[in-house]
Amino acid sequence: MARAYNKKVRPQKFEVDQQVLKHILPHQVEAKGSSGTLKLIDIPTSPTIVEYESIIIIESTPSVIEVGQVYEDKQTIASVMKHYSVMNKFQFRVKRSSARRYWLVPYYHLAYAVVDSENDASWKWFFEQFKHAYGKRPNMYVVSDQNECILKETSIVYPGMPHYSCMWHIWTNIRAKFKKGHLKLSELYFATARSYTLDEFNERMSKIEEIDPRVKAYLYDIGYHRWSRVHAMVNKTLTMTSNIIESLNAVTKDARERPIVELLEYMRTLLERWTNEKLLKAKGTFAYLGFKFNKELDDNRTFSHKLRVRASTDYIHTVLDGARLYIVCLENKRCSCGQFQLDELPCPHALAALRHKDESYEQYCSPYYTRESLLHTYEIPVNPLPDESKWNVPQHIT
Ligand SMILES: [Zn+2]
pLDDT in tens, 131-172: 998 898 887 888 777 778 888 898 999 998 888 888 888 998
Question: pLDDT value at position 380?
Answer: 85
CA of 200 relative to ligand 1 center, distance in Å = 14
Question: pLDDT value at position 38?
Answer: 36
In order of 191, 192, 206, the CA distances from 202 in angstroms are 11, 8, 6
CA of 333 relative to ligand 1 center, distance in Å = 10
| 298 confidence band (pLDDT: 50, 70, 90) | very high
Report pLDDT digits (tens) over 167-199.
Answer: 888 998 999 999 888 888 999 999 999 999 999
Task: Tell me the residues surrounding ligand 1 (ion) with CB < 5 Å.
Answer: 335, 337, 347, 349
CA of 365 relative to ligand 1 center, distance in Å = 14
CA of 290 relative to ligand 1 center, distance in Å = 21
CA of 223 relative to ligand 1 center, distance in Å = 27
Q: Three-state SS for 42? A: coil
CA of 243 relative to ligand 1 center, distance in Å = 28
CA of 6 relative to ligand 1 center, distance in Å = 55
Q: Is the peptide bond before 109 cis (omega within 30 degrees of 0)?
A: yes
Q: Are 356 and 317 in contact (CB under 8 A)?
A: yes
CA of 339 relative to ligand 1 center, distance in Å = 6
Query: Strand pairing partners for 329?
Result: 316, 334
| 248 confidence band (pLDDT: 50, 70, 90) | low
Distance CA 199, CA 210 (A): 17
CA of 39 relative to ligand 1 center, distance in Å = 29
Question: pLDDT value at position 191?
Answer: 93
Residues 6+ apart with CB under 8 A from 73: 66
CA of 336 relative to ligand 1 center, distance in Å = 6
Average pLDDT for the chain: 73
In order of 35, 55, 73, 307, the CA distances from 320 in angstroms are 48, 37, 28, 6
Minimum mean pLDDT range among 93-102, 106-115, 251-260: 93-102
Report pLDDT digits (tens) over 36-45.
Answer: 333 333 322 2
pLDDT at 113 > cutoff 60: yes
pLDDT at 16 > cutoff 70: no
Question: pLDDT value at position 245?
Answer: 57
CA of 366 relative to ligand 1 center, distance in Å = 16
- H/E stretch holding 141: strand 141-144
Q: Which of the pair, 384 or 83, is modelled with greater confidence?
A: 384
Contacts 24+ apart (CB under 8 A), 189-195: 189/215, 189/219, 190/70, 190/71, 190/77, 191/71, 192/219, 192/228, 193/167, 193/227, 193/228, 193/229, 193/240, 194/71, 194/229, 194/240, 195/228, 195/229, 195/230, 195/338
Q: Which of the pair, 254 or 392, is modelled with greater confidence?
A: 392
CA of 299 relative to ligand 1 center, distance in Å = 13
| 112 confidence band (pLDDT: 50, 70, 90) | confident
CA of 240 relative to ligand 1 center, distance in Å = 21
- What average pLDDT does this structure show over 216-230? 92
Residue 35, judged by CB atoms within 10 A of its CB (0-12, 13-18, 19+), counts as middle
CA of 335 relative to ligand 1 center, distance in Å = 5
CA of 298 relative to ligand 1 center, distance in Å = 15
Question: pLDDT value at position 365?
Answer: 95
The b/e string for 223-237 (b: 16+ C-beta within 10 A; e otherwise) is ebebbbbbebebbbb
The b/e string for 331-351 (b: 16+ C-beta within 10 A; e otherwise) is eebbbbbbbbbbbbbbbbbbb
Report pLDDT digits (tens) over 71-91.
Answer: 233 333 333 333 333 333 322
* Nearest alpha carbon to residue 125 among 29, 21, 43, 44: 21
Question: pLDDT value at position 243?
Answer: 54
Question: pLDDT value at position 149?
Answer: 85
CA of 351 relative to ligand 1 center, distance in Å = 9
pLDDT at 208 > cutoff 50: yes
CA of 327 relative to ligand 1 center, distance in Å = 7
Question: pLDDT value at position 241?
Answer: 56
CA of 332 relative to ligand 1 center, distance in Å = 13
- What average pLDDT does this structure show over 220-238? 81
**pTM of the prediction?**
0.66
CA of 372 relative to ligand 1 center, distance in Å = 26
Question: pLDDT value at position 339?
Answer: 93
Residues 6+ apart with CB under 8 A from 65: 54, 57, 58
In one-letter notation, the amino acid at residue 324 is: R
pLDDT at 217 > cutoff 80: yes
| 219 confidence band (pLDDT: 50, 70, 90) | very high
CA of 305 relative to ligand 1 center, distance in Å = 13
Strands (E), 276-323: 308-311, 316-321
pLDDT at 281 > cutoff 60: yes
| 240 confidence band (pLDDT: 50, 70, 90) | low
Q: Which of the pair, 3 or 260, is modelled with greater confidence?
A: 260
Question: pLDDT value at position 188?
Answer: 94
CA of 307 relative to ligand 1 center, distance in Å = 11
Query: Strand pairing partners for 70?
Result: none
Report pLDDT digits (tens) over 315-345.
Answer: 999 999 999 999 999 999 999 999 999 989 9
CA of 384 relative to ligand 1 center, distance in Å = 46
pLDDT at 347 > cutoff 90: yes
Question: pLDDT value at position 246?
Answer: 56
